[in-house]
Amino acid sequence: MGEFVTARAASATRPIPVNESQLHESPPRSGPSEPDSELLRRFAGNRDQTAFGEFVRRHLDLVYSTALRGLAGDAHLAHDVVQSVFTDAARKADRLAGHALPSAWLHASTRFAAAKAVRTEQRRRRRDGQALAMHDAVNPNCHDEEWASMRPVIDQVVGELRSEDRDAIVLRFFEAQSFASIGRRLRLTENAARMRVDRALDRLRSRLTERGITSTSAALASVLAANAVVAAPAGLAGAVTSTAVAATGGAGGLALFSMIASHKISVGVAAASLALTGVGVQYEHARQSALEHRSASAALHTEEQARLEKENDALRARAAEAERIRQAAAELPQLRSDADYLQERLAANDAQARAAGAAVATKRAAGTKVLDPKQLDRLPKAISQVKPKYPQELARAGIEGRAVVEFVVGADGSVSNVKVLETSHQSVADASVAAVQQWKFQPGTQAGQAASVKMQVPMIFSVNRDTNWF
């Protein structure tokens, strides 16, 4: 279970139930079958409205939800911002196709467009002598106190993260992608994608803490998963696609009129859309004329076109290879960072395991009566005795050493409570303890029952002989 706490009123904070299995299982989305870059290239090269419509449908909830947060829930302004963002994406489709993560570009573009819309609306309201009153009735969870404190700043804070952390948060929580899909999009393994999301959550949590909003990473993940994305209104995808394509000269006026009638767009937006349709029609006439001219002279330039196409193909291949090498080089520091992170985790786990083992051994020894060897019917018998390592500095100098070690042989034959009573050198003491801790015995007995017994043994370190410790 996780808990989300706001700095303003800790006593009023409600605990957030966190289903741990939900946080580590993949969301239902497994990732797009056709990359965003390919959809954008199809639209940029062939004016393929179906491809751009799929791109809009795929990212509409992300853009709409981000716009709503930036506009404090004003759905009408959010529609305008969504239209503006996707129209801009249509105009820049060729360049956007080369972007490493178009969804991250959409998130940033929406934040800026929403901020601009707020400023414009504020100026208009001031001119008209009206107050800027935005409502808060879009997401049924928006009245939740924890999310309400985070929502006004979450997109700005995400935008302040490093690009690799921002991409991880956008894909996981704003687009609900599985770890496997995130790995494919970022060219990572599924486990590496999971670790990148975990680290990004930690850094996002730190940024929120600086703004007076504190939580655990698990609670933050739960809040984002429940509230970050809301479904866009039905029919918005088709309207946005038609208007965006028309604005770039790829749709006719009849489709736009139909869109306006079915979705009841505001008068201002409708007028702007009609103007764009006129531009689109003019553009289509100009393009048709250019196509006819090219067709008339095509026979004269076939050889030159073939040469240029071949040269372009070679340049594209070289550019793709250069991009692949660049991305591979950029990934190397992250792989090193992941390796360091895993090594730190492994060292911490080893330390915890050793501490737990020592605690168990101490507790076992403390709860058992330890006898003197004279009280036993039969003394413990060594089963396995690891010889201590001769300290190198003493061996090189030809120096011999001695230590007297005391330890307890338990009723199960294990060794505990190892300590040095006397020694000639500290390095000899350390080597003796390390060896005795690994010894195993057949336990001694008293009245036929296995018993714990305290024993002492001298450890003789000699350069000239192979010492048997018993």
> Residue 72, by phi and psi: left (phi above 0), alpha (psi -120 to 50) or beta?
left
| Band of residue 31 on the pLDDT scale cut at 50, 70, 90 | low
Task: Return the structure tokens found at 319.
Answer: 């550019």
**What distances in angstroms separate CA 7 from CA 140, 211, 227, 384, 389, one per listed residue?**
24, 9, 20, 59, 57
- In angstroms, the CA 117 to CA 121 distance is 6
Residue 326 to residue 317: CA distance in whole angstroms: 14
Calculate what percentage of the chain has a pLDDT beyond 70: 74
* Contact yes or no for 67/82 (Cβ under 8 A): yes
Residue-level pLDDT at 413: 93
What pLDDT is attached to residue 270?
45
Cα 254 from Cα 153, distance rounded (Å): 41
Query: What whole-number percentage of the chain has pLDDT above 90?
Result: 38
**Whole-angstrom distance, CA of residue 198 vs CA of residue 24:** 10
3-class SS letters over the chain: CECEEECCCHHHCCCECCCHHHHHCCCCECCCCCCHHHHHHHHHHHCCHHHHHHHHHHHHHHHHHHHHHHCCCCHHHHHHHHHHHHHHHHHCHHHHCCCCCHHHHHHHHHHHHHHHHHHHHHHHHHHHCCCCCCCCCCCCCCCCHHHHHHHHHHHHHHHHCCHHHHHHHHHHHHCCECHHHHHHHHCCCHHHHHHHHHHHHHHHHHHHHHCCEEECHHHHHHHHHHHCCCCCCCCHHHHHHHHHHHHCCCCCHHHHHHHHHHHCCCHHHHHHHHHHHHHHHHHHHHHHHHHHHHHHHHHHCHHHHHHHHHHHHHHHHHHHHHHHHHHHHHHHHHHHHHHHHHHHHHHHHHHHHHHHHHHHHHHHHHCCCEECHHHCCECCEEEECCCCCCCHHHHHHCCCEEEEEEEEECCCCCEEEEEEEEECCHHHHHHHHHHHCCCEEECEEECCEEEEEEEEEEEEECCCCCCCCC
For residue range 438-468, list pLDDT tens digits in order.
999 999 999 999 999 999 999 999 887 654 4
Q: What is the CA radius of gyration of the chain?
A: 36
| Half-sphere exposure of residue 415: CA atoms within 13 angstroms, side-chain side | 24
Cβ–Cβ under 8 Å, residues 455 and 406: yes
Q: Poorest-confidence range of 54-68, 236-250, 380-394? A: 236-250
Encoding tokens for residue 244? 């965006």
Please determine, for residue 323, whether its predicted confidence score (pLDDT) is greater than 50. yes
Angle between the N-to-C axes of helices 236-247 and 253-263, in degrees from 0 to 180, rounded to the nearest 10: 150
How confident is the model at residue 363, as a pLDDT? Answer: 56
- Burial grade of 425 (CB within 10 A; 0-12, 13-18, 19 or more): middle
**Per-residue pLDDT tens over the stretch 235-274:** 999 999 999 888 877 544 434 434 444 444 443 444 444 3
Count the Cβ atoms, other than its own, within 10 Å of residue 21: 6
Q: What are the pLDDT digits (tens) for 119-173?
A: 988 888 888 766 555 444 444 444 467 788 888 888 988 999 998 999 999 999 9
Find the mean pLDDT for residues 307-331: 86
Select 370-461's CATH number: 3.40.50.2300, 3.30.2420.10, 3.30.450.30, 1.10.760.10. Answer: 3.30.2420.10
Mean pLDDT estimate for the chain:
79
Confidence label for 312 from pLDDT (cuts 50, 70 and 90): confident
pLDDT of 50 > 90? The answer is yes
Domain limits of the chain? 4-292, 301-367, 370-461
How far is the C-alpha of 216 from the C-alpha of 37, rounded, in Å? 36
- CB atoms < 10 A from the CB of 299, how many? 7
Section 25-39 average pLDDT = 66
Q: What is the pTM of this model?
A: 0.46
Q: Tokens 């039969």 belong to which residue?
A: 378
Supply the pLDDT for residue 138.
Answer: 44
